[in-house]
Amino acid sequence: MQPHKAEKNRIKNRLPQWEYLAFIAAVLLTFVLCVSVGTVRLPWSDVIHYFTDLLFGTDYEYAVSSAPQIMTVRVPRVICVALSGMSLALCGCAMQGLLKNPLAEGSTLGVSSGAALGAIIAIAFDIHVPFLSLAGPTVMAMLFAFGSIMLILFLAYRLDYSLSTNTIVLLGVIYSLFVSSIIMFITTFSSEKIRSITYWTMGSLQGSSYTEALILFTVLAVCASVILSKSEELNAFAIGEDNARSIGIDVRKTRLTILISVSALIGTCVSIGGSIGFVRLVVPHMTRMIVGPNHRRLLPATLFSGAVFLMLMDLIARVILKPRELPIGAVTSLIGAVLFVFIFAGTRRTHR
Protein backbone atom coordinates (compact mmCIF):
# COMPACT_ATOMS: atom_id res chain seq x y z
CA MET A 1 0.00 0.00 0.00
CA GLN A 2 2.68 2.45 0.96
CA PRO A 3 4.85 1.88 -2.15
CA HIS A 4 1.75 2.44 -4.31
CA LYS A 5 1.06 5.71 -2.48
CA ALA A 6 4.70 6.79 -2.84
CA GLU A 7 4.55 6.11 -6.58
CA LYS A 8 1.37 8.20 -6.88
CA ASN A 9 3.04 11.07 -5.01
CA ARG A 10 6.13 10.81 -7.22
CA ILE A 11 4.01 11.06 -10.38
CA LYS A 12 1.99 13.92 -8.89
CA ASN A 13 5.17 15.86 -8.18
CA ARG A 14 6.24 15.76 -11.81
CA LEU A 15 5.44 18.57 -14.22
CA PRO A 16 1.97 17.70 -15.68
CA GLN A 17 1.89 16.78 -19.35
CA TRP A 18 -0.27 19.77 -20.28
CA GLU A 19 2.27 22.11 -18.65
CA TYR A 20 5.07 20.48 -20.65
CA LEU A 21 3.07 21.05 -23.82
CA ALA A 22 2.34 24.66 -22.85
CA PHE A 23 6.03 25.39 -22.19
CA ILE A 24 7.12 23.69 -25.42
CA ALA A 25 4.52 25.64 -27.41
CA ALA A 26 5.73 28.89 -25.81
CA VAL A 27 9.33 28.09 -26.77
CA LEU A 28 8.42 27.21 -30.38
CA LEU A 29 6.23 30.30 -30.87
CA THR A 30 8.91 32.54 -29.39
CA PHE A 31 11.53 30.88 -31.60
CA VAL A 32 9.53 31.51 -34.79
CA LEU A 33 8.83 35.10 -33.67
CA CYS A 34 12.52 35.79 -33.02
CA VAL A 35 13.57 34.30 -36.35
CA SER A 36 10.98 36.26 -38.31
CA VAL A 37 11.51 39.66 -36.63
CA GLY A 38 14.70 41.65 -36.97
CA THR A 39 16.29 44.42 -39.00
CA VAL A 40 14.54 42.79 -41.96
CA ARG A 41 11.12 41.42 -41.09
CA LEU A 42 10.23 38.06 -42.59
CA PRO A 43 6.73 36.58 -43.03
CA TRP A 44 6.00 33.63 -40.76
CA SER A 45 5.27 31.56 -43.86
CA ASP A 46 8.86 32.11 -45.06
CA VAL A 47 10.23 30.96 -41.71
CA ILE A 48 8.07 27.83 -41.63
CA HIS A 49 8.82 26.97 -45.27
CA TYR A 50 12.54 27.49 -44.65
CA PHE A 51 12.50 24.64 -42.13
CA THR A 52 10.31 22.60 -44.46
CA ASP A 53 12.93 23.02 -47.18
CA LEU A 54 15.66 21.89 -44.79
CA LEU A 55 13.73 18.81 -43.70
CA PHE A 56 12.13 17.68 -46.96
CA GLY A 57 14.24 19.36 -49.64
CA THR A 58 11.32 21.28 -51.16
CA ASP A 59 11.82 24.42 -53.22
CA TYR A 60 9.64 27.22 -51.87
CA GLU A 61 9.45 30.64 -53.51
CA TYR A 62 10.02 33.08 -50.65
CA ALA A 63 8.09 36.32 -50.31
CA VAL A 64 11.35 38.01 -49.29
CA SER A 65 14.06 37.04 -51.79
CA SER A 66 16.86 37.31 -49.24
CA ALA A 67 15.05 35.15 -46.65
CA PRO A 68 17.32 32.06 -46.99
CA GLN A 69 20.47 34.17 -46.55
CA ILE A 70 19.00 36.03 -43.56
CA MET A 71 17.88 32.85 -41.83
CA THR A 72 21.26 31.20 -42.39
CA VAL A 73 22.58 33.87 -40.01
CA ARG A 74 19.54 34.37 -37.79
CA VAL A 75 18.57 30.76 -37.05
CA PRO A 76 21.88 29.63 -35.46
CA ARG A 77 21.89 32.82 -33.40
CA VAL A 78 18.38 32.24 -32.03
CA ILE A 79 19.23 28.59 -31.32
CA CYS A 80 22.31 29.67 -29.35
CA VAL A 81 20.25 32.26 -27.46
CA ALA A 82 17.63 29.67 -26.53
CA LEU A 83 20.22 27.13 -25.39
CA SER A 84 22.10 29.78 -23.40
CA GLY A 85 18.87 30.88 -21.72
CA MET A 86 18.07 27.29 -20.77
CA SER A 87 21.57 26.71 -19.40
CA LEU A 88 21.83 29.93 -17.39
CA ALA A 89 18.33 29.64 -15.90
CA LEU A 90 18.89 26.01 -14.90
CA CYS A 91 22.19 26.95 -13.23
CA GLY A 92 20.54 29.70 -11.21
CA CYS A 93 17.72 27.40 -10.10
CA ALA A 94 20.13 24.64 -9.05
CA MET A 95 22.35 27.07 -7.11
CA GLN A 96 19.41 28.65 -5.30
CA GLY A 97 18.20 25.21 -4.24
CA LEU A 98 21.65 24.00 -3.27
CA LEU A 99 22.58 27.06 -1.20
CA LYS A 100 19.07 27.83 0.10
CA ASN A 101 19.71 31.42 -0.95
CA PRO A 102 17.31 33.34 -3.26
CA LEU A 103 20.20 35.56 -4.38
CA ALA A 104 22.50 32.68 -5.31
CA GLU A 105 23.50 32.15 -8.91
CA GLY A 106 26.30 30.52 -10.84
CA SER A 107 28.58 33.54 -10.72
CA THR A 108 29.05 32.99 -6.97
CA LEU A 109 31.37 30.13 -7.90
CA GLY A 110 33.80 32.43 -9.71
CA VAL A 111 33.47 30.50 -12.97
CA SER A 112 32.00 33.45 -14.89
CA SER A 113 34.92 35.63 -13.84
CA GLY A 114 37.43 32.95 -14.83
CA ALA A 115 35.84 32.51 -18.25
CA ALA A 116 35.78 36.29 -18.75
CA LEU A 117 39.48 36.48 -17.88
CA GLY A 118 40.34 33.84 -20.48
CA ALA A 119 38.37 35.61 -23.20
CA ILE A 120 39.81 39.03 -22.35
CA ILE A 121 43.37 37.67 -22.44
CA ALA A 122 42.65 36.23 -25.89
CA ILE A 123 41.22 39.56 -27.10
CA ALA A 124 43.99 41.70 -25.57
CA PHE A 125 46.86 39.58 -26.88
CA ASP A 126 45.29 38.44 -30.17
CA ILE A 127 45.41 34.76 -29.27
CA HIS A 128 44.11 32.52 -32.05
CA VAL A 129 43.53 28.79 -31.99
CA PRO A 130 44.68 26.99 -35.17
CA PHE A 131 42.88 23.93 -36.53
CA LEU A 132 39.63 24.92 -34.78
CA SER A 133 36.64 26.77 -36.20
CA LEU A 134 36.07 28.45 -32.84
CA ALA A 135 37.48 31.88 -32.05
CA GLY A 136 40.38 32.31 -29.64
CA PRO A 137 38.27 34.02 -26.92
CA THR A 138 35.79 31.13 -26.95
CA VAL A 139 38.45 28.46 -26.48
CA MET A 140 40.37 30.47 -23.88
CA ALA A 141 37.18 31.18 -21.93
CA MET A 142 36.33 27.47 -21.84
CA LEU A 143 39.82 26.56 -20.64
CA PHE A 144 39.86 29.25 -17.95
CA ALA A 145 36.34 28.35 -16.78
CA PHE A 146 37.35 24.72 -16.30
CA GLY A 147 40.64 25.72 -14.66
CA SER A 148 38.83 28.11 -12.32
CA ILE A 149 36.43 25.52 -10.90
CA MET A 150 39.27 23.00 -10.54
CA LEU A 151 41.34 25.56 -8.63
CA ILE A 152 38.45 26.56 -6.37
CA LEU A 153 37.54 22.94 -5.60
CA PHE A 154 41.20 22.08 -4.94
CA LEU A 155 41.58 24.97 -2.49
CA ALA A 156 38.25 24.13 -0.84
CA TYR A 157 39.35 20.51 -0.42
CA ARG A 158 42.63 21.57 1.18
CA LEU A 159 40.89 24.00 3.54
CA ASP A 160 37.84 21.88 4.30
CA TYR A 161 37.83 18.18 3.48
CA SER A 162 34.02 18.08 3.60
CA LEU A 163 33.83 20.64 0.78
CA SER A 164 31.19 22.66 2.62
CA THR A 165 29.07 25.05 0.59
CA ASN A 166 30.18 28.08 2.61
CA THR A 167 33.86 27.37 1.92
CA ILE A 168 33.30 26.96 -1.82
CA VAL A 169 31.17 30.10 -2.10
CA LEU A 170 33.63 32.16 -0.04
CA LEU A 171 36.52 31.04 -2.23
CA GLY A 172 34.43 31.73 -5.34
CA VAL A 173 33.73 35.30 -4.22
CA ILE A 174 37.38 35.93 -3.33
CA TYR A 175 38.50 34.43 -6.64
CA SER A 176 36.03 36.65 -8.54
CA LEU A 177 37.42 39.77 -6.86
CA PHE A 178 40.98 38.65 -7.60
CA VAL A 179 40.17 37.99 -11.26
CA SER A 180 38.36 41.34 -11.57
CA SER A 181 41.54 43.12 -10.51
CA ILE A 182 43.55 41.24 -13.15
CA ILE A 183 40.96 42.16 -15.79
CA MET A 184 41.30 45.83 -14.79
CA PHE A 185 45.08 45.67 -15.24
CA ILE A 186 44.76 44.02 -18.66
CA THR A 187 42.14 46.54 -19.77
CA THR A 188 44.32 49.45 -18.60
CA PHE A 189 47.25 48.31 -20.74
CA SER A 190 45.12 47.34 -23.76
CA SER A 191 43.60 50.68 -24.64
CA GLU A 192 43.46 49.83 -28.34
CA LYS A 193 41.36 46.74 -27.55
CA ILE A 194 39.15 48.31 -24.89
CA ARG A 195 36.14 48.59 -27.20
CA SER A 196 36.21 44.87 -28.03
CA ILE A 197 36.78 43.92 -24.40
CA THR A 198 33.94 46.14 -23.15
CA TYR A 199 31.51 44.86 -25.79
CA TRP A 200 32.35 41.25 -24.98
CA THR A 201 31.85 41.75 -21.23
CA MET A 202 28.37 43.17 -21.91
CA GLY A 203 27.37 39.94 -23.62
CA SER A 204 26.35 39.31 -27.21
CA LEU A 205 25.45 36.28 -29.32
CA GLN A 206 25.80 38.13 -32.61
CA GLY A 207 27.46 35.99 -35.25
CA SER A 208 26.80 32.68 -33.47
CA SER A 209 27.32 29.59 -35.59
CA TYR A 210 25.93 26.08 -35.75
CA THR A 211 29.24 24.83 -34.32
CA GLU A 212 28.69 26.90 -31.19
CA ALA A 213 25.06 25.76 -31.05
CA LEU A 214 26.24 22.15 -31.15
CA ILE A 215 28.70 22.79 -28.30
CA LEU A 216 26.00 24.44 -26.20
CA PHE A 217 23.55 21.62 -26.91
CA THR A 218 26.06 18.88 -26.06
CA VAL A 219 27.11 20.45 -22.75
CA LEU A 220 23.49 21.25 -21.86
CA ALA A 221 22.31 17.72 -22.65
CA VAL A 222 24.95 16.19 -20.36
CA CYS A 223 24.86 18.69 -17.49
CA ALA A 224 21.09 19.21 -17.49
CA SER A 225 20.57 15.44 -17.29
CA VAL A 226 22.79 15.35 -14.20
CA ILE A 227 21.10 18.33 -12.52
CA LEU A 228 17.58 17.10 -13.29
CA SER A 229 18.45 13.72 -11.80
CA LYS A 230 19.27 15.50 -8.53
CA SER A 231 15.84 17.12 -8.11
CA GLU A 232 14.94 15.05 -5.05
CA GLU A 233 18.28 15.85 -3.44
CA LEU A 234 17.71 19.57 -4.06
CA ASN A 235 14.31 19.28 -2.37
CA ALA A 236 16.08 17.81 0.66
CA PHE A 237 18.74 20.56 0.58
CA ALA A 238 15.95 23.15 0.64
CA ILE A 239 15.07 21.96 4.14
CA GLY A 240 18.67 21.68 5.27
CA GLU A 241 21.86 19.66 4.82
CA ASP A 242 21.24 17.81 8.09
CA ASN A 243 17.86 16.72 6.77
CA ALA A 244 19.52 15.51 3.56
CA ARG A 245 22.04 13.45 5.53
CA SER A 246 19.30 11.98 7.73
CA ILE A 247 17.50 10.49 4.73
CA GLY A 248 20.67 8.93 3.35
CA ILE A 249 21.84 11.48 0.79
CA ASP A 250 25.58 11.74 0.19
CA VAL A 251 25.74 15.51 0.71
CA ARG A 252 29.37 15.93 -0.33
CA LYS A 253 29.01 13.94 -3.55
CA THR A 254 25.71 15.61 -4.48
CA ARG A 255 27.09 19.09 -3.87
CA LEU A 256 30.22 18.38 -5.89
CA THR A 257 28.24 16.89 -8.80
CA ILE A 258 25.89 19.88 -9.03
CA LEU A 259 28.69 22.44 -8.69
CA ILE A 260 30.75 20.85 -11.48
CA SER A 261 27.70 20.61 -13.77
CA VAL A 262 26.74 24.24 -13.09
CA SER A 263 30.32 25.38 -13.68
CA ALA A 264 30.57 23.54 -17.00
CA LEU A 265 27.31 25.10 -18.20
CA ILE A 266 28.22 28.62 -17.12
CA GLY A 267 31.73 28.38 -18.52
CA THR A 268 30.40 27.26 -21.90
CA CYS A 269 27.74 29.99 -22.03
CA VAL A 270 30.17 32.74 -21.03
CA SER A 271 32.76 31.52 -23.53
CA ILE A 272 30.28 31.80 -26.40
CA GLY A 273 28.00 34.69 -25.41
CA GLY A 274 30.01 36.73 -22.93
CA SER A 275 28.66 37.91 -19.58
CA ILE A 276 24.84 37.84 -19.61
CA GLY A 277 23.46 38.88 -16.25
CA PHE A 278 20.21 38.38 -14.33
CA VAL A 279 18.97 35.33 -16.28
CA ARG A 280 20.25 33.02 -13.53
CA LEU A 281 18.68 35.20 -10.86
CA VAL A 282 15.30 36.30 -12.24
CA VAL A 283 14.03 33.35 -14.32
CA PRO A 284 14.04 30.77 -11.47
CA HIS A 285 12.05 33.18 -9.27
CA MET A 286 9.53 33.87 -12.03
CA THR A 287 9.12 30.16 -12.74
CA ARG A 288 8.82 29.33 -9.02
CA MET A 289 5.84 31.68 -8.82
CA ILE A 290 4.14 29.64 -11.59
CA VAL A 291 4.92 25.99 -10.74
CA GLY A 292 5.94 26.12 -7.06
CA PRO A 293 9.15 25.22 -5.21
CA ASN A 294 9.24 21.46 -5.89
CA HIS A 295 12.40 20.91 -7.94
CA ARG A 296 10.89 17.97 -9.82
CA ARG A 297 8.55 20.51 -11.42
CA LEU A 298 10.70 23.62 -11.09
CA LEU A 299 13.88 22.47 -12.85
CA PRO A 300 12.31 21.40 -16.19
CA ALA A 301 9.98 24.42 -16.15
CA THR A 302 12.97 26.71 -15.60
CA LEU A 303 14.68 25.25 -18.66
CA PHE A 304 11.81 26.29 -20.92
CA SER A 305 11.30 29.64 -19.19
CA GLY A 306 14.98 30.50 -19.60
CA ALA A 307 14.80 29.87 -23.35
CA VAL A 308 11.72 32.08 -23.77
CA PHE A 309 13.12 34.86 -21.56
CA LEU A 310 16.50 35.16 -23.27
CA MET A 311 15.04 34.87 -26.79
CA LEU A 312 12.72 37.79 -26.02
CA MET A 313 15.60 39.80 -24.52
CA ASP A 314 17.70 39.15 -27.62
CA LEU A 315 14.79 40.21 -29.82
CA ILE A 316 14.50 43.50 -27.91
CA ALA A 317 18.26 44.02 -28.21
CA ARG A 318 18.04 43.57 -31.99
CA VAL A 319 14.98 45.69 -32.80
CA ILE A 320 14.63 48.45 -30.20
CA LEU A 321 17.25 50.68 -31.90
CA LYS A 322 17.44 48.98 -35.30
CA PRO A 323 19.51 48.84 -37.38
CA ARG A 324 21.83 49.32 -34.40
CA GLU A 325 22.06 46.40 -31.97
CA LEU A 326 22.36 46.56 -28.19
CA PRO A 327 24.42 44.05 -26.18
CA ILE A 328 22.05 41.41 -24.84
CA GLY A 329 23.70 41.58 -21.39
CA ALA A 330 22.73 45.25 -21.08
CA VAL A 331 19.10 44.46 -21.91
CA THR A 332 18.85 41.50 -19.51
CA SER A 333 20.42 43.53 -16.69
CA LEU A 334 18.07 46.48 -17.21
CA ILE A 335 14.84 44.49 -17.57
CA GLY A 336 15.95 41.79 -15.11
CA ALA A 337 16.63 44.34 -12.38
CA VAL A 338 13.15 45.85 -12.78
CA LEU A 339 11.51 42.40 -12.77
CA PHE A 340 13.45 41.33 -9.68
CA VAL A 341 12.26 44.42 -7.78
CA PHE A 342 8.64 43.54 -8.61
CA ILE A 343 9.19 39.89 -7.65
CA PHE A 344 10.81 40.91 -4.36
CA ALA A 345 8.03 43.38 -3.57
CA GLY A 346 5.37 40.77 -4.36
CA THR A 347 7.10 38.19 -2.18
CA ARG A 348 7.26 40.64 0.74
CA ARG A 349 3.54 41.39 0.44
CA THR A 350 2.75 37.67 0.38
CA HIS A 351 4.75 37.05 3.58
CA ARG A 352 2.96 39.89 5.33
Residue 260: the pLDDT is: 87
The answer as to whether 35 is a domain residue is: no
pLDDT band at 310 (very low <50, low <70, confident <90, very high): very high
Structural domains of the chain, count: 1
Specify the pTM: 0.88
- Of 65-79, 89-103, 118-132, 208-222, the least confident: 118-132
Assigned domain for 81 exists: yes
284 lies in a domain? yes
* Mean pLDDT within 87-106: 85
Task: Give me the domain span that covers residue 342.
Answer: 75-351
Contacts of 23 (CB under 8 A, 6+ apart): 300, 301, 304, 305
What CATH number did the domain enclosing 283 receive?
Answer: 1.10.3470.10
b/e for 245-276, b at 16 or more Cβ within 10 A?
A: eeeebebeebbbbbbbbbbbbbbbbbbbbbbb
| Residue 17, domain member (yes or no) | no
Q: Is residue 305 part of a domain?
A: yes
Q: Examine residue 282 and state whether it is found in any structural domain, yes or no.
A: yes
Residue 78 in this model has a pLDDT that exceeds 70: yes
Instruction: With a cut of 80, say whether residue 350 has pLDDT above it.
Output: no
171, part of any domain: yes
pLDDT at position 106 is: 67
- CA 292 to CA 285: how far, in whole Å? 10
Task: For residue range 100-128, list pLDDT tens digits in order.
Answer: 777 777 677 788 889 889 988 988 888 87
Mean pLDDT over the full length of the chain: 84
